[in-house]
């Protein structure tokens, strides 16, 4: 009989556990961020569940026909023409739930002008660095929005930096990168979902990472 070395078994086990460990680390990060925002563990858990379930739901905002697909094979000649559509949808878990959380946070912070200024700066920067990529939507550099929103929050609203970072990062990215660039992708075939990646969408992740950075400063 041939026995695998213990070291090999441990290595295989560790490789299999890596995705699970990453998921645990991600949810610990999310829970920590929500705690920094002043939310209770129960409220944080409820929001995470809403985002997970909501990530499966896209609400169409616009939808229009772009063109008919042309047959490419003999088989396609006997099939009806397929219509391509272009439009915009909003993801519940990736955009609407974070937006509602921002509205709630605005009710508990002592001042709003700092958040408004930070959000405006974030929107301008996001608009400038965002790029539409066919087949992917609107993308922007991964680390610029969270780092910038965290710095703005610490400089402008040190006493409530975490809520400021989350609102500025989330709303600034949503307005600057997505809404202000919709005209650049409106004729691209396919439906563009704002926040369509749910928990892993840039709009959500920017706010979470920004809050963590403010806690480390």
Q: What is the average pLDDT value for the chain, to the nearest integer?
A: 76
- What pLDDT score was predicted for residue 3? 42
- What pLDDT score was predicted for residue 6? 47
- What pLDDT score was predicted for residue 185? 64
SS3 of residue 90 by DSSP: strand
More confident residue, 214 or 121: 121
- Cα(203)–Cα(171) distance, rounded to whole angstroms? 8
More confident residue, 163 or 2: 163
Across 53-57, 63-67, 156-160, which has the greatest mean pLDDT?
A: 156-160
Q: Are 145 and 189 in contact (CB under 8 A)?
A: no
- What pLDDT score was predicted for residue 151? 93
Give the confidence band of 197 by pLDDT, cuts at 50, 70, 90: low
Structure tokens that stand for 116 in this block:
């408004």
- What pLDDT score was predicted for residue 105? 92
pLDDT tens-digit series, residues 15-49: 555 565 555 566 677 777 888 888 888 888 888 88
Q: How many CB atoms lie within 10 A of CB 84?
A: 11
- What pLDDT score was predicted for residue 2? 40
pLDDT tens-digit series, residues 185-194: 666 666 677 8
More confident residue, 190 or 213: 213
pLDDT tens-digit series, residues 90-149: 888 888 999 999 999 999 888 889 999 999 999 999 888 887 765 556 777 878 888 899
- What pLDDT score was predicted for residue 212? 81
- Which has the closest alpha carbon to 123: 181, 69, 84, 70? 181
Given a cut of 70, whether residue 217 has pLDDT beyond it is: no
- What pLDDT score was predicted for residue 56? 84
The stretch 76-92 carries a mean pLDDT of 68
- Cα(34)–Cα(24) distance, rounded to whole angstroms? 15
Q: Which ranges in the chain belong to alpha helices (H)? A: 6-36, 41-54, 74-77, 97-106, 113-129, 144-156, 161-173, 202-216
DSSP code per residue over 106-150: HTTSS-SHHHHHHHHHHHHHHHHH-EEETTTEEE--SSHHHHHHH
Residue 40, Cβ density class (10 Å: 0-12 exposed, 13-18 middle, ≥19 buried): exposed
pLDDT tens-digit series, residues 144-182: 888 899 999 999 998 899 999 999 999 998 888 888 877
Q: Are 174 and 103 in contact (CB under 8 A)?
A: no
């Amino acid at each position: 009989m041939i026995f695998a070395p213990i070291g090999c078994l441990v290595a295989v086990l560790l490789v299999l556990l890596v995705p699970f460990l990453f998921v645990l680390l991600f949810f610990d990060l999310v829970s920590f961020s929500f705690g920094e925002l002043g939310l209770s563990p129960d409220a944080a858990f409820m929001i995470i569940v809403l985002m997970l379930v909501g990530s499966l739901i896209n609400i169409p905002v616009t939808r229009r026909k772009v063109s008919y697909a042309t047959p490419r094979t003999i088989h396609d000649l006997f099939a009806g023409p397929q219509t391509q559509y272009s439009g915009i949808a909003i993801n519940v878990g990736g955009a609407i739930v974070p937006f509602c959380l921002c509205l709630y946070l605005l009710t508990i912070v002592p001042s709003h002008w700092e958040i408004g200024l930070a959000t405006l700066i974030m929107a301008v920067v996001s608009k400038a660095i965002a790029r539409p990529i066919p087949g992917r939507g609107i993308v922007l550099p991964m680390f610029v929005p969270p780092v910038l929103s965290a710095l703005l929050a610490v400089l402008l609203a040190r006493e409530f930096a975490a809520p400021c970072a989350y609102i500025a990062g989330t709303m600034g990215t949503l307005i600057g990168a997505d809404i202000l660039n919709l005209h650049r992708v409106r004729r691209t075939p396919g439906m563009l979902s704002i926040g369509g990646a749910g928990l892993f969408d840039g709009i959500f992740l920017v706010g979470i990472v920004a809050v963590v950075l403010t806690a480390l400063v």
